[in-house]
Chains A and B, each alone.
Chain A
Amino acid sequence: MSAVDVPEQESWFHRNQQRIAPWLFLAPGLLFFMVYVIIPVFQSFNLSLYEWDGLGAAEYVGFRNYEDLYWEWADRDAFYISLKNNLIWLLLYLAAIPAGLFIALFLNQTVWGIRLYKSLFFFPFVISQVVVGLVFTWFYDPTFGLLNEFLGFFGLGRLNVLGDERFVTYGIIFAGLWPQTAYCMILYLTGLNAVDPEQIEAGRLDGAKGARMLWHIILPQLRPATFIAFVVTIIGALRSFDLISIMTQGGPFGSSRVLAYYMFEVALSEYGFRMGYGAAIAVILFLIMLCFIAYFLWSMYREERGH
């Protein structure tokens, strides 16, 4: 760029400033996001058509990875179990929403010290899932865990939750519900703060109270909170990785795997580096997530139009 051009360029820039400015502001963020998020999604799609150990040359295999996944499904093998567990996670994780609402209603009072109580109830969400996982591993421990002390107190037999294929997934989900419920609780507490007191009064005059009041007057006003709770809970359920990795590493005998964990196991652990196969699993997980993402975006789009 020679010095002579500068004044002319500046004035052109000046005239078109409002058209160019947004792109200049977007450029760094967009570049980062493209390189690290958007492009990798497509790369993974592409990679799922190859067989690759991460080092040598990748071999194009068409849809064979997906065929293999289909056979795993048909044989009720790892992929089937992961998918089934993902479904269980999705359904049971949603319990965090009513549970969070319940605690929020319980805490929505103005007695002395209630602020501290609210903060302490929120605690589990702030600590890392790794620590939550450790805490619950000990909670379930067959020799000294609190759960078994508890069961013993009531004269019930010992339970090895994390070592039993029948209970393991439910045990991990229960651990996950702890922080997730705290999150939903805080969403509802904020929502309850904004509920219109006049409508409550009007409802009271009409003789509504308790559950009827909650259902007909409070919940409709909590819709934005419920929507966000729904979004974060679904995403959380499909992202479940940390807890499984810490608590069971997918065991016993792979019975607590979910897609997110199985993918990692296939692509990056002792089972060898099957990157293409892992990518195929990731694509399936992505497609499941995409249904929800599309729904969220659609809701947001309608909201935007509404304004």
Chain B
Amino acid sequence: MFPKPIEKQPRAAQITYKAMLPVALLLWLGPLLAVALFSIKPEADFTNANYWGMPSRFEGAFNYGQVFFNSDMPRYLMNSFLITIPTVLGCVALSSMTGFALGIYKFKSNIWIFFMFVAGNFVPFQILMVPVRDLTLELGLYNTKTGLVLFHIAFQTGFCTLFMRNFIRALPFELIEAARVEGISEWRIFWYVVLPLMKPAIAALSVLIFTFIWNDYFWAVVLTQGAESQPVTAGITSFNAQFRAAYQLMSAGSIVAALPPVAMFFLMQKHFIAGLTLGAVK
């Protein structure tokens, strides 16, 4: 193990290390903790310029109550879920098929199609912006959740295909050959042999795509406008405009907006990290 395990260091070093950990963490998360502190302060603290002192009283319940019952926030959150979940399902469905096709079959254009998916995934959003916006307008899907979902599915398929294909490549190919000898059709091989083995990859992708899509801001701004379809990342700017200078509410709103992917991460940590390293680092 590198660096040298701390247990093998002198006692002083061990104590220093253990003392440094919480300090480092506090510094690292400082800006975020500041927002958390803001979110439980009463409004009076800000007018009295008591920004960093102890809250004069605990107003967390009231502030978060305002966010949930007195603003468009629940609507934005709902929209985010209604955009994120179908996208995750769509991406997993499409990419387990494309990944299967590119991972199992040998045909001439295989690697080029694969590279096309990979390259497309790296493209700057701006080069897609005007045509995708036009297409969405033409389909009558501008300012709808469906319009956003369709685009997200398509774009994320690039990354997901990369991931799925590499995962399927690493599966034992003999399994598929054995099934073929048995005369099982290709579709059934996909459904009954390969798909069950892909569960870890599907889990990893789902958490990852959930986070990516939840946190998307650019496309939300380009393809949607009002509270009826905007996800929370875009909604928070209108929310902040509504509560301008009410720092305690803006803070509470930000925390609420950030929470779902954080919860997802903590629940599915192992899968999340496997996904982030693109399976390349084991």
A interface, CB within 8 angstroms of B: 17-19, 21-23, 25-26, 28-30, 32-33, 35-41, 43-44, 47, 54, 105-106, 108-111, 114, 117, 119-124, 126-131, 134-136, 138-139, 144, 146, 149, 178, 183, 186-187, 190-192, 194-195, 197, 200, 209, 213-214, 217-218, 224-225, 227-228, 235, 238-239, 241-242, 245-246, 259-260, 263-264, 267-268, 275, 278-279, 281-283, 285-286, 289, 292-293, 296-297, 300-301, 304
Q: List 7 A-B contacts (CB under 8 A).
A: A22-B101, A33-B120, A36-B132, A44-B129, A138-B34, A282-B124, A289-B122
B264 / chain A contacts, CB cutoff of 8 Å: 126
9 closest Cβ pairs, A-B complex: A36-B154, A40-B131, A128-B215, A25-B101, A29-B98, A22-B105, A21-B186, A32-B154, A43-B131
> A117 with B21: in contact, given A32-B157, A129-B217, A241-B218 (CB under 8 Å)?
yes
B240 / chain A contacts, CB cutoff of 8 Å: 134
B273 at the interface (CB under 8 A from A): yes
B192 at the interface (CB under 8 A from A): no
Instruction: Tell me, in angstroms, the Cα distance from A246 to B257 when the chains sit together.
Output: 15
Q: Nearest residue in A to B150 (C-beta to C-beta)?
A: A36
**Residue B123 contacts which of A41, A127, A139 (CB distance < 8 angstroms)?**
A41
Instruction: Tell me, in angstroms, the Cα distance from A242 to B38 when the chains sit together.
Output: 23
B255 to chain A, nearest CB (A): 8
Instruction: Tell me, in angstroms, the Cα distance from A123 to B105 when the chains sit together.
Output: 39
B191 to chain A, nearest CB (A): 11
Q: Mark B223-239 against chain A: 1 for CB-CB distance below 8 A, else 0.
A: 00000000001001100
Contact B128 A297 (CB under 8 A): no
Instruction: Tell me, in angstroms, the Cα distance from A245 to B217 when the chains sit together.
Output: 10
**Residue B215 contacts which of A39, A127, A292 (CB distance < 8 angstroms)?**
A127
Contact A17 B186 (CB under 8 A): yes
Contact A228 B35 (CB under 8 A): no
A25 / chain B contacts, CB cutoff of 8 Å: 97-98, 100-101, 190
Contact B17 A190 (CB under 8 A): no
Query: By DSSP majority rule, is chain B's interface helix, strand, loop, or mixed?
Result: helix
A41 to chain B, nearest CB (A): 6
Contact A36 B135 (CB under 8 A): yes
A23 to chain B, nearest CB (A): 8
> A123 with B100: in contact, given A109-B6, A241-B125, A289-B123 (CB under 8 Å)?
no
B11 at the interface (CB under 8 A from A): no
Contact B154 A33 (CB under 8 A): yes
> A40 with B186: in contact, given A146-B34, A235-B122, A282-B127 (CB under 8 Å)?
no
Instruction: Tell me, in angstroms, the Cα distance from A25 to B13 when the chains sit together.
Output: 57
Contact B105 A18 (CB under 8 A): yes
**Residue B25 contacts which of A117, A144, A241, A275 (CB distance < 8 angstroms)?**
A117
A297 to chain B, nearest CB (A): 5
**Residue B18 contacts which of A111, A119, A190, A200 (CB distance < 8 angstroms)?**
A111
> A40 with B3: in contact, given A29-B95, A33-B157, A117-B21 (CB under 8 Å)?
no
Contact B128 A36 (CB under 8 A): yes
B143 at the interface (CB under 8 A from A): no
Contact A111 B17 (CB under 8 A): yes
Instruction: Tell me, in angstroms, the Cα distance from A245 to B220 when the chains sit together.
Output: 13
Contact A40 B21 (CB under 8 A): no
> A21 with B105: in contact, given A36-B151, A129-B217, A239-B125 (CB under 8 Å)?
yes
Contact B261 A126 (CB under 8 A): yes
